[in-house]
Chain A
């Protein structure tokens, strides 16, 4: 989509490209290439570099320490970031809790929390899903009861990504039981070190990533950790899930994955020729690449249509559906191209440096990526949303 850059945007792209090329440490780049979760040390180191540049929060307004970039600039930055294998950054801080506070926080809350969110001295995680509330998020039951100037929380949360690297959680809790289940939900910020809060690891299919099962037993939280009005958390949650749809197509990441797949297939040989020349493989790559072209065009049309004012409607759900299907097919095909070598689950390989040989990571991605069509509202839920809100069914 570079062809659609305005001259000033073109210059911006070149500046971003040059900055990333000069400043991204090699070890962080290699870690990103593996697709493994980024250790907190690396994340913080890269974050400091971005802070110095003033680029730590690409999607925040300037008054809160963000870049003040236009949506198009954010889009360009994200493309270039992916193309150089720079990390996404502390995504829950910048893509979720920051926008949450900026839109719904009081001025006191903003002044208290935003600097710490920006500096990333605190890492955040999300506390939405529960054992009984996945796709049906509004069925959540983890209870927060107001007592004087505190909330007392009891219940469970499940599947919290990056929780073991986090200090704080922004969560959805039930503060009232009456009426519609969407009512009586509140957004509350919780310190993960609070007494009574226990995190247990849940290992995902890849055997590497750990998400959390959280148990709350009489966890006390100051009442001023409530964001927005009590009982009005559902609208806030919907806002945050809408923000999540920006960039959810992950086109730039899939472009990199295709390039990596082709490199891998060039190195593998089958019957005396590079596997890349196999017509069956090429046909599959062609279709995925073609669909990615189309996905990129749809995303561009949704994001930048001058008649939409940059507002993403429910139709953006198709970006998630199509984007995750492409990423899953790519990871599957890559594992197949890696062949017998993709069977090895050698811990040493997985923990060690990344060589150019991608085979060792292929299976890990395949296993890990089963989650992407499930989290953030499963693809079936996304289809329900489109059917109702876009197609009027």
Chain B
């Protein structure tokens, strides 16, 4: 049996998280953080660690709180509502999921450091030729006397430049686009042969191209089993898709609220623009889209209990279709109803517009999602 609704403790956690972020975060700070080399705010990261946000969803075995999906949802919604640029998704969701099955050793140590806020971990999911296919991995890992030697190029690795460690999928056997033969390696940013080229994204998030030139990785830095990394990777990215949908819900809620505020105070032709039925109905469409997306996300998170839970692929594809469509609708309408303010890069609405657009382009697009749905429909 699952519980659809949040527990009392989760509602309290949501409130304290909102208070913490509200006290520490402003539009001005966001701009400074986005312009900084680091791309996130270490001071706020520290606070998130202190309040337990970084360890909420980690297993108790590594010092986490063993929270459920709804705990993660609460955090992601708060991040989305504040549009907080941070490596939370990479570190506390994807890396945590990838590392989560290791009870001891390096992975467990790293998980503990993630929870305490001492470690930033990035994941190099993408290669230039791969589009959204996680299995399209050309980065090679050759066996050597002392482990593996990695060579290849990863692109758009979020917060790779700021990370202490980067999890890198590389091909240890099999064909270029095949699922078998992928192994996950933990690369240290100081490893000889590792090179970063920063690439800022239009939504202000920091990414980097990661070049690996004969980087030596010892066997203890292999995550999971050699050649069998794909399933774990899929599972972690699926969780990230769900988590990012919650982030989108938070951002959409912000835009709905700020647009409502704006149409009530902005006067034209002697009346608030929100008194026009054409404007009101558009806001109802936005509200409906946010409610539908948010309830669907809440329902999906109810089925998640640990970072390594598998998520039904078709259900997730449909969820992302809905949340991406909602994200674009709400973002576009918010800009439209803000008029000239909406198209200014300096305003929050402009920033949220870009962030939501980026989310709807992340991990899978509609073509990929429809392909997943088609595949499932054909096979039944």
Contacts and interface: CB of A to CB of B under 8 A. Distances in A.
Interface of A: 1, 3-7, 10, 262, 276-277, 279, 282-283, 285-287, 289-291, 293-298, 300-301, 304-306, 315, 318, 321-322, 380, 383-384, 386-387, 390-393
Interface in B345-380: 369-370, 373-374, 377-378
A221 B370 CA distance: 60
B1 A4 contact: yes
A383 B298 contact: no
Instruction: Enumerate the 3 nearest inter-chain pairs by beta-carbon distance, A residue then B residue, closest first.
Output: A290-B318, A297-B295, A294-B292
Contacts of B188: none
Contacts of A287: 321, 325
A391 B374 contact: no
Interface of B is mostly: helix
A298 B296 CA distance: 7
A289 B318 contact: yes
B295 A301 contact: yes
A306 B284 contact: no
Nearest to B371: A279
Given A282-B377, A300-B295, A305-B5, A393 B263 contact: yes
The interface centre, meaning the residue of B2, B284, B302 with most chain A CB atoms within 10 A of its CB, is B284
A279 B374 contact: yes
A277 B378 contact: yes
Contacts of A300: 4, 295, 299
Contacts of B296: 293-294, 297-298
B101 interface: no
B258 interface: no
Contacts of B279: 393
Contacts of B287: 318, 386, 390-391
Contacts of B298: 297, 301
Interface of B: 1-5, 260, 263-264, 274-275, 277, 279-281, 283-285, 287-288, 291-293, 295-296, 298-299, 302-303, 315, 317-319, 321-322, 325, 369-370, 373-374, 377-378
A107 to B, nearest CB: 38
Contacts, number: 117
A283 B295 CA distance: 22
A262 B299 CA distance: 25
B319 A293 contact: yes
Given A387-B284, A391-B280, A4 B3 contact: yes
Nearest to A307: B5
Given A3-B2, A285-B377, A301-B4, 19 more contacts: A3-B1, A3-B302, A4-B1, A282-B374, A290-B319, A290-B321, A291-B322, A293-B296, A294-B295, A294-B296, A297-B298, A301-B295, A322-B292, A383-B281, A383-B284, A383-B285, A386-B288, A387-B277, A387-B284
A321 B325 CA distance: 17
Interface of A is mostly: helix
A10 B2 CA distance: 12
A1 B315 CA distance: 13
A384 B277 contact: yes
Contact of B1 (A6, A291, A391): A6
Nearest to B1: A6
B292 A298 contact: yes
A282 B377 CA distance: 8
B318 A318 contact: no
Contact of A318 (B1, B284, B303, B315): B284
A383 B1 contact: no
Contacts of A5: 1
A297 B299 contact: yes
28 contacts: A3-B303, A4-B2, A10-B1, A282-B370, A282-B377, A283-B370, A285-B377, A286-B321, A286-B370, A289-B318, A290-B321, A294-B322, A296-B299, A297-B292, A297-B296, A298-B295, A300-B295, A300-B299, A301-B4, A322-B288, A386-B288, A387-B280, A387-B281, A391-B260, A392-B260, A393-B260, A393-B263, A393-B280
Nearest to A282: B374
B281 A306 contact: no
A204 to B, nearest CB: 27
A355 to B, nearest CB: 24
A301 B296 CA distance: 10
A182 B321 CA distance: 43
B321 to A, nearest CB: 5
A391 B284 contact: yes
A305 B296 CA distance: 14
Contacts of B295: 294, 297-298, 300-301
A305 B325 CA distance: 26
Given A297-B296, A393-B274, A393-B283, A290 B322 contact: yes
Contacts of A304: 4-5
A321 B322 CA distance: 16
Contacts of A305: 5
A229 B325 CA distance: 49
Contacts of A296: 299
Contact of B318 (A286, A301, A315, A387): A286
A300 B292 CA distance: 11
Contacts of B5: 301, 304-306
Contacts of A4: 1-4, 302
A391 B285 CA distance: 11
Nearest to A9: B1
Contacts of B293: 294
A278 to B, nearest CB: 10
The interface centre, meaning the residue of A277, A289, A321 with most chain B CB atoms within 10 A of its CB, is A289
A289 B317 CA distance: 11
Contacts of B373: 282-283, 286
A392 B3 CA distance: 31
B291 A279 contact: no
Nearest to B4: A4
Nearest to A301: B295
B2 A393 contact: no
Given A380-B281, A393-B283, A291 B292 contact: yes
A393 B4 CA distance: 30
Nearest to B374: A282
A289 B322 CA distance: 10
A3 B369 CA distance: 24
A305 B275 CA distance: 31
B286 to A, nearest CB: 9
B61 to A, nearest CB: 27
A1 B351 CA distance: 36
A125 to B, nearest CB: 31
A380 B292 CA distance: 19
B322 A293 contact: yes
A290 B377 CA distance: 14
Given A286-B370, A300-B299, A318-B288, A293 B2 contact: no
Contact of B315 (A293, A390, A391): A293
Contacts of A3: 1-2, 302-303
